[in-house]
Amino acid sequence: MFEGFEAGPIQVGETSVFVRHGGEGPPVLLLHGHPRTSATWHRVAPRLVERGFTVVCPDLRGYGRSRGPAPAEDHSAHSKRAVAGDMAAVMRSLGHSRFALAGHDRGGAVALRLALDHPGAVSHAAIVDCLPISEHLSRVGTEFATQWWHWFFFAQPDIPERVINADPDAWYHGDPESMGRENHDEFREATRNPDVVRAMLEDYRAGLTVDLRHEEADRAAGLRLRCPTLVLWSLRDDLEDLYGDPLAIWRDWADDLRGHGIDSGHHVAEEAPDALAEALGGFFSSPS
């Protein structure tokens, strides 16, 4: 995976962020979702390098090989604001003061926070299979609670750690053929690590508490994404089934919005890398 890329830790404050980066040209930051690592981009990143971009793929705080501070009682140590700060610092350390970014799933929530908190640093924001957390929670009904019950299970204290760590391979399913063997092996190693599991759960606990408060404050203040924003969603996932057109929701958050669905299941970077790289490459090449 990631032939020609450099890989290793970058220390930013209390967090050691494992980062893969390679290529030449305008910088692009790719943020993975739960329960993946930066390896999920192994089919997309080389395609973007071929299109003339510098590509940076980090493991989010506590995921994969990144290590951050211990969980805080109010979950702020794993808030999207804290993780977005990590990502901005990583890009500065690599010499990129302004960059495009894409985030999938939980990485999409980090991408939103990064673009809101550091607007001068973000030229383009692409958000994949994601709505603002507050938009999800304001629409909770029977269907959402049934299909996305894990949000509320993960938020419980201690119990999910005991359940997941008892048999992580049974809990986190991954197919080495569809994921790619090396990506799958990295994912398996991460999900078998109790410290990683705890950090991933803290991500969700922060989502229902501190992250929700941050988004509600943004809406009250009229804060919006000012950069060009691309919203993509997997047609064989349930985002469109639950909410209809995701763009109708994102219009309340972004001034310059575009987007479409991609014929894929949820892990689009692994299942439809050509379509995703084409969409991202074209968008990142557009004027900011």
Active-site amino acid positions: 105, 266
Residue 59, both tokens: 């493991």
Residue type, 281: G
Residue type, 73: E
| C-alpha to C-alpha distance for 94 and 239, rounded to whole angstroms | 34
> Among residues 217, 200, 53, 66, which one has the least CA distance to residue 132?
217
Q: Positive or negative CA dihedral for 246, 247, 248, 252?
A: positive
Residue type, 72: A
CB atoms closer than 10 angstroms to residue 48: 25
DSSP category for residue 11: E
The answer to whether the bond into 71 is cis (omega within 30° of 0) is no
> Among residues 117, 52, 111, 78, which one has the least CA distance to residue 208?
78
φ/ψ of residue 88, rounded to 5:
-60, -40
Measured N-to-C along each axis, helices 210-221 and 106-117 cross at an angle, to the nearest 10 degrees, of 40
Three-state secondary structure call for residue 7: strand
Q: Is 222 exposed, middle or buried (0-12, 13-18, 19+ CB in 10 A)?
A: exposed
CB distance 62 to 78 below 8 Å: yes
Pairing of strands 54-58, 15-22: antiparallel
CB distance 59 to 41 below 8 Å: no
